[in-house]
Structure 1
Amino acid sequence: MKRKLTWVLLLSLLLCAVAFSASVELKFLHRWTQEPDSLFFDEVARDFEQLYPNIKVNVQSIANDPFKEKIKVLLGTSDAPDVFFTWPGEFTNRFIRADRVLDLTPYLLRDGSLWNYVGSQVEPFVYQGKIYGLPYRLDAKVFVYNKELFQKAGITKAPVTFAELIDACKKLKAAKINQIAFGNEGTWAVSHYIGAINQKSVPEDVWLKDLDPAQGVWTHPGYVESLKIYSQLVPYFNPFANGIKHDQARIEFMAGKFAIMYLEIVEIPEILREAPTGFGEKIGVFVFPDTKGPGDPDYLVGYPEGFVVSADTKYPEEAVAFLKYLTGREAGRKEIEQLGFFNGYRNVVGPDEVLPIIYETTSLILNSKRMVNWLDSDLHAKIWDVYSVQLQMLTDLVATPENVMKEIQNIATEVRKEF
């Protein structure tokens, strides 16, 4: 038996060597068009090429918002990338249902590489029991606040409950300090608020069922309550939030003009690079406060971002090899050093190798009871199209929570007919 297993192993290695012997070019598509991120991907591709001289990685990039539409067009054409970026959830699941994404399960189990990744960060890429992607960077949403401005307003600690957050905003306003910076021109920003509050306002089994486009009805009263909670924050946003880009609002926050901003953890390294010297020492973080609703207060909104392999690739072995390298230990260390982001690979660095705030926020993800996906990524595209418009109207105070949810119920009814 031992001799037989040895020959099987040797044969599998030989087959891999044969598969990698021919000259191959992989198309690799990500969504970062600016430095330093774009340089990182270029370097990772070149590093991989040095390990596999027969494989050429053609790196391409499309900016975030146009990427979401462009990838829909590319998949299924002769220009489809072999390896491409994605957001887990319904954004990816629709491509899986259309047989456009490669099942990675056999590749990850064959060599045991699956166990090198943090399980909670691989789980979002699982669909109907199969693994379709690997995490590139961990992410979640937290409130980042200016401790100096809080002190000026007489606020002695970060809010733990939603009532304390509203009270903090009132104190900031009374002290003539701008409260919450918010840019919602790209409506994904408001989806992060609503996703967080929905989870807290609606029983878990209900919102999980509603996220399924084949079953969702969206009739639970908690959704209206969620929008009422969000509406309490609106007076404390900057004016004309729907006309301001998220990045513009962040610049105002970094300039010390606002006390609070709801930010992704992956934005913190960018803030530390771009903000005035010393700004990083002024900021602290807190998770979305407890609203006292039926949802678990220990859940954290956010999901990893990752990469998948096209089911139409002519080179699945090579594409999977690149994906593993891209999301593995060596690239993970480079990612932390150059960008400040953690990937989903186990034990890439220790706490003494990164800034305390980076380790603290990443630990929030790794220690969370459960991660809740970004609402815009988890919803059926047709439902999100309606939801996003309605949420902008709610932010502009020209729609009511009840009317918003009526529109969502109507479009959900139409979507269910497709399944």
Structure 2
Amino acid sequence: MRRAPAAVAGRLLVALLALVAGGCGQAPVRVTPNDFALDGPPRGHLTILEKWADPEYAPYFKEVVRDYERRNPGVTIDLQAVGDQPYKDRIAVLAASRELPDIFFSWPGRYARKFADGKLAADLSAPLKNTGWGRTFEADALGAFTFDGRTYGVPLDVDAKVFAYNTEIFAKAGVRRAPRTFPELLTACDRISEAGYTPLAFGNQYGWPAGHLLTQFNAMEVPAAVLARDYDGDGGGSAFTHPGYERAFKDLGQLASRCMGPSGTSMSHESAQTRLLYGKAAMQYLETLEFSYLSTKGGAPVQFAKSWDFFTMPAIPGAAGSPRAVAGGADGLLVANSSPNKPLAVDFLKYLTSRYQARKMVRDLGWLSAVKGTADDGRLKGLPKAQRTLAGKDMALWLDTRADDKIVNPYLSAAEAVLGGRTTAAEAVRQIREGARQAHRFRVRD
């Protein structure tokens, strides 16, 4: 269901790309000229490696490739789609051996930056800026692949975390509107509990759901500049000292104690979603990419499919971060710096992210596109509203792709302990600070 986070992949990829960036006796990185202009009609061969092998998604990408080949008879494309974990393993090996395909998938943030810093991804700033192509994307989505003013990836979809809720349960519990502040959310949970329902179905079996909540709370409780410095591991001894980090863990603890069921830390995200769909729980914190699962076509009961809505995390009074923050990200595609067919690769990506194809992706897959104004009215409930809502938000990239790996792992561990009531917010922050010190020592030594 949820397209897996990059935290596990990061450990292998970061280590390999550190070797790439540092040389370590390996062959130098090959770089072909950044000339993105086609010399005549598109022609040549492309290899593409991506991670949408699921039968729900693969046909769409195969069809895009076939359409592009039909439009351009001089082009052949070898599309290779593998699952999440096989992709992580393969791209790590290819990165280390410097045998990357012409086009390859990447998660946003620090994950993508490793390819840029290792000079393995081509700088696409020129074609994005000079042709107006870049202006067609949502700014936050393109920004997720932009580092030091240069853009290295093309965003394909936009994803964000929201609270999907059963409007009938809200009404039965006397909750007349979606909460507008965090205290209102907690009060709504109390009323829903009194009505005999689990307020928030939450499964943290694999750790990433808690990471998403902390992505959200950190972005709302901590100023953006402080957050960026600390996530990058640049804060040294002063990292993660802002009081907002402890407040974020306290927010998590309050949400757990007043809104989540007792098995929230042990069940899977998918099991939690079943409780939402079948009326056992009033809400679930889920991704916009999961809206298709809330429809009858996606397997939801008719009654639920007719009676759900969503809201983003409501504002936290007194918080020092962004009140408009929403946890999310954008999946993207990079062009290998070693590709002999950079102009062709860019031309294909322009076709893939054209308005026509973006709208088709929304219809066929139920994803929000990174291309502006492409939510398809009426085809999938929630998407048009989601695109309008997210346009006014500040995207807070998933913690597991944004932060240094030595910070991510302690964060997920501390979050699980706070959810289970085994540690305090203050102790959780101390664990994070130790991870940050290790990250800083590694960066200085490197």
Corresponding position of 2:128: 108
Corresponding position of 1:3: none
Instruction: Provide, for residues 261-310 of structure 1, a one-character-per-residue CA deviation record: whole Å limited to 9, x for no partner.
Output: 01111211232232122422211111101121122312322222221112
Correspondence for 1:190 among 205, 210, 213: 210
Corresponding position of 2:171: 151
Q: 1:405 to 1:68 in 2, by over 3 A?
A: farther
Q: Within 1, Cα distance between the matches of 2:305 and 2:314? A: 22
Which is further off, 284-293 or 340-349? 340-349
One-letter code aligned to 1:399: T
One-letter code aligned to 1:222: G
Whether the 8 Å CA contact 2:141–2:370 is kept in 1: the answer is yes
Whether the 8 Å CA contact 1:89–1:378 is kept in 2: the answer is yes
Residue 284 of structure 1 pairs with residue 304 of structure 2: no
Instruction: Provide, for residues 157-176 of structure 1, a one-character-per-residue CA deviation record: whole Å limited to 9, x for no partner.
Output: 11111111111111111121
One-letter code aligned to 2:57: D
Q: Within 2, Cα distance between the matches of 1:188 and 1:13? A: 38
| Alpha-carbon shift at residue 31 of structure 1 (Å) | 2.2
Identity of aligned residues (%): 30
Q: Give the SS at the match of 2:329.
A: coil
Where do residues 6-405 of structure 1 align in structure 2 (5 Å cutoff)? 16-17=39-40, 20-21=42-43, 23-24=44-45, 26-65=46-85, 67-77=87-97, 80-215=100-235, 217-235=239-257, 236-272=259-295, 273-274=297-298, 275-292=300-317, 293-348=319-374, 352=377, 354-355=379-380, 357-368=382-393, 370-405=394-429
| Alpha-carbon shift at residue 379 of structure 1 (Å) | 0.5
Q: Give the SS at the match of 1:57.
A: strand
Q: Within 2, Cα distance between the matches of 1:353 and 1:156? A: 25
Instruction: Provide, for residues 45-66 of structure 1, a one-character-per-residue CA deviation record: whole Å limited to 9, x for no partner.
Output: 1111112223222222333355
Q: Within 1, Cα distance between the matches of 2:416 and 2:130? A: 47
Normalised to the residue count of structure 1, the TM-score between the two structures is 0.89
| Alpha-carbon shift at residue 15 of structure 1 (Å) | 5.5
Whether the 8 Å CA contact 1:179–1:260 is kept in 2: the answer is yes
Q: Within 1, Cα distance between the matches of 2:408 and 2:320? A: 24
Q: 1:282 to 1:51 in 2, by over 3 A?
A: same
- Structure 1: any 5+ residue segments left out of the alignment? 1-11
Whether the 8 Å CA contact 2:326–2:395 is kept in 1: the answer is yes
Q: Within 1, Cα distance between the matches of 2:374 and 2:139? A: 15
Query: What is the Cα-based RMSD across aligned positions, in Å?
Result: 2.3
- Structure 2: any 5+ residue segments left out of the alignment? 1-34
Normalised to the residue count of structure 2, the TM-score between the two structures is 0.84
Instruction: Provide, for residues 182-241 of structure 1, a one-character-per-residue CA deviation record: whole Å limited to 9, x for no partner.
Output: 122232211110111112222333212212222361111211111011001113323343
Q: Give the SS at the match of 1:302.
A: strand
Q: Within 2, Cα distance between the matches of 1:92 and 1:343? A: 19
Whether the 8 Å CA contact 1:228–1:401 is kept in 2: the answer is yes
